[in-house]
Structure 1
């Protein structure tokens, strides 16, 4: 996410780091580099100008110039002003008012609106709400069927439009169904177009005025850059948007839309779509995204992902086993399966501070994890519980059964032994407990 921008900003900020003391000229030169990095990332020119102006005003103060740690001061200022540009603080959904609460999704065709509707339903369901999904898109072939299938996948009720029903009728009937079935939220997926047109806007305005939704969320494709910002501006002016869901963020190396959209439209980003899977929706926290962009990582989001992916009961059992050094290959297999839920190794490392630039220079073969699990699966329960009994003939059988080589089996067993040595070191008072508390809330 935003790899190119992060790398350019890191290079620009490192120029401050090279100097012990910073003169006014040093600061102005460095800020020019930051300005260029932002412009190359397709950030709106006026947004860049305002951001750099605020940073410069603070950076040229005696607080920075006379500081013994000017580099840290500059990074702190850039971070704080970037957070301000991104919206300052997270803006949650307005779910108050008369039930069922209506959430209207709008956007152009191809922005990921229908998938986002299902992601949002899954997110709200995890929070304890009882959503219902409905598609008011009667124009795109199979649009209704697509959302119906996605609703089944997230196990959320779906109102299926009847032949000949118009968008207003569809939404009204869906709301009635929600009332009759104790659903407290109705998520309305509307029609999109390949471009903004009058018919699209009139239909959205009519649905909004008729049903008065608590939220009108624009689903915008981050990879469109400034085009996404312009689309958001137009939708807000014509329909009135309460928030933005930025999709396809994981494929956007620049970040221009994410940084510009709040300043230009005045509408807060409320969620980020960070992948194709139905769990790939994150609440938007300006301070966390600013941290990622500046290479500071995002530990809080990683911990939240871990808490959702990992089974707390199993984590407690694992803690007991680690304390007694009873961690066997069955436990390792379980951890490999849990890690898959978090995403790829590259994704996980991307949340860690200082990894950004180094990450682009490293190669990760995700197939290695699949291979490890296959090898463990080919073992007997006795072998997984007591790897020391695995002799040469057993290794040959395991390799054949897993479609790997004896060398691969040896490599796994060596890795397991190294892991046990590491766990022995972590048994020292406080180390493991502190790690597990932070990761799992223990």
Structure 2
């Protein structure tokens, strides 16, 4: 959702609550896919917890508030979809708030058609029942200053990976006196995982890739990381979001930043590594790395920054053709990337690749990327007593022993730019 539209909703939640009926609106949002089943379930859980904290408001009043908040976390089509739902339900006053217009005489003559397979039938015989306006508790409000600073929103939805890797907890803060350790002591600002998963392309769908997102989110939440999640995005949206996130208060306060970018990769006509986006564009991998320089990213100065790139780095396939295994390479026809990378001084940066330059990486069509799934498994098993670079070495070793049905193999590697201290994730332990 655009920042402008998100701000309109957040600034007017009390009015929107006053002019809509919670139960009818929730049913329409579920039926038309604006909210997933998981989000609806979390809506109830979050609201119940809030009710226990502050008993001033009814459960339905808090759920009504949370409903609009969750809509602001949805994708780029969420605002228009909400307007269509309000139109269909005859919530003219609520629609006026979103449109900021005075006249809607033609609303009933221009109602949009919902999808053919929708099971939702509007309750025409029931008039909307307005919910009384409520003054929301401070814990549910954004300050005027926060509303004026448009920043990415933390991803709070529940996930269900095929395998739930349970992270072993550490019993004490781990340090290394000889080499030194990065500070990973905070309870509330332990780290950020920025997850980008481009699954749909014009002529391709990365089968199994959804499970990679679910597994990473499941594991890193146990590590105390805040999650920021994008799916099927354009190159422009990716860089706009990345730049806002790197300048945000989240990043200023965090102790660690990890980017996991999952997509198709290839070598362009100049033999430069590029990664693809869902709008068909490509960008040089180096340009993404450059965004984590000390000049461009002062919020992360002297903090550990880890970039995880599990996509292909070229067309070479070690052995045979895959059957139940796919690769994350793409057919490259022209160099669509006109950006020129700017090199700045970099430090505290670790870059992890699923394969060597020029080679393909493999992905199971049901379970997801070999590399990503093994990374989640090894973190769960060893993060309580092993530093991150050694975890990556274990992942690389384990993946190198995997074979596809026809003998395809994969060898990952990593390199660091001034990553001079040990990074222990210290799961389940803080000094706050």
TM-score, with normalisation over the residues of structure 2? 0.22
**Greater per-residue helix proportion:** 1
**Greater per-residue strand proportion:** 2
Pair member with larger Rg: 1
